[in-house]
Amino acid sequence: MNNSRPRHTIRLIVGIIVCTGSVAFGLAVRDTGSISYKSRRPPQARASDEKIIERKEFPNEPFEFGNLTVQSTRVGVNQKFNSVFLFGSRRSSDWLESLGFTLKNTSQKQITYIHLELDFPETSASGSMMVYNQLGIGIDPRRSSTIRSGREPLALNPGETITFAISAKEMASIKDFLSADKYPLGSLNKAVIRLGYIIFSDGSKWEQGDYYQPSLTTPGGYEHVTGNRPINQ
């Protein structure tokens, strides 16, 4: 009878140890699961001195793109550059300052408007990619009179070249646009130039690889030139 008490005590101690170990193991599994879940979150953009400016190209472009510059310094398209090396101790948020380039009209028509956009691919990590689409050269007849009033007219004849540069006001607007979604420009490392569409003096347009002519039946609409496939704008 006296020997049963120690055995009972031993079983009780072993039971406590097993239960404690199971709880600890369960906590460890839940902690691991939590870490695994966090690792699946989309990564945020990390600021770097290495920057790159790319250009989205399309078929049948009626222009020749060249002479890409930032702060009057020549940089290569689709080639990384060190912003600190090129621009010294200036702020990292200035790496797109005075972005400029040349466009040569290689078509047989006079160009009256060029629509530009800047894509920031890194912002797609937390949702839809942010695109700044308020840039242009000339007057877009499809825009409101308020927006058109602040633009100078464009008459770029075949073979002629124009130089474009983002103004200080436009640069401030771009920074505000990005910061509103908590993406300071200095935290981003890539920008993509996209020439969305071009309008000619006869009313026709080129848009991302295709040509269109004004619709004869739909006011403000266009018809696809290739294959006469009509579309509405």
Q: Which residue has the higher pLDDT, 153 or 45?
A: 153
Is the confidence at residue 176, as pLDDT, over 90? yes
> What pLDDT shows up at residue 14?
44
Which pair of structure tokens corresponds to residue 179?
A: 């910061």
CA 177/CA 126 separation, integer angstroms: 16
Q: Which residue has the higher pLDDT, 150 or 84?
A: 84
Q: What is the pTM of this model?
A: 0.74
Which pair of structure tokens corresponds to residue 161?
A: 């070249």
Q: What is the 3-state secondary structure (H, E, C) of 79-111?
A: CEEEHHHHHCCCCHHHCCCCCEEEEEECCCCCE
For tokens 């369960």, what's the residue? Answer: 26
Which pair of structure tokens corresponds to residue 174?
A: 């771009």
CA 53/CA 191 separation, integer angstroms: 5
Is the confidence at residue 32, as pLDDT, over 50? no
Q: Which residues fall within 8 angstroms of residue 62, CB to CB, at 6 or more apart?
A: 105, 106, 107, 109, 111, 198, 206
119 alpha-carbon distance from chain centroid: 2
Which pair of structure tokens corresponds to residue 170?
A: 């436009």
Is 190 within 8 Å of 56 (Cβ atoms)?
Answer: no
Is the confidence at residue 171, as pLDDT, over 90? yes
> What pLDDT shows up at residue 226?
65
Domain boundaries along the sequence of the chain:
1-41, 50-231
- Residue 199: left if φ>0, alpha if ψ -120 to 50, beta else—which one? beta
Q: Which residue has the higher pLDDT, 37 or 140?
A: 140
Each residue of 117-143: pLDDT tens digit? 999 999 998 789 999 999 999 999 877
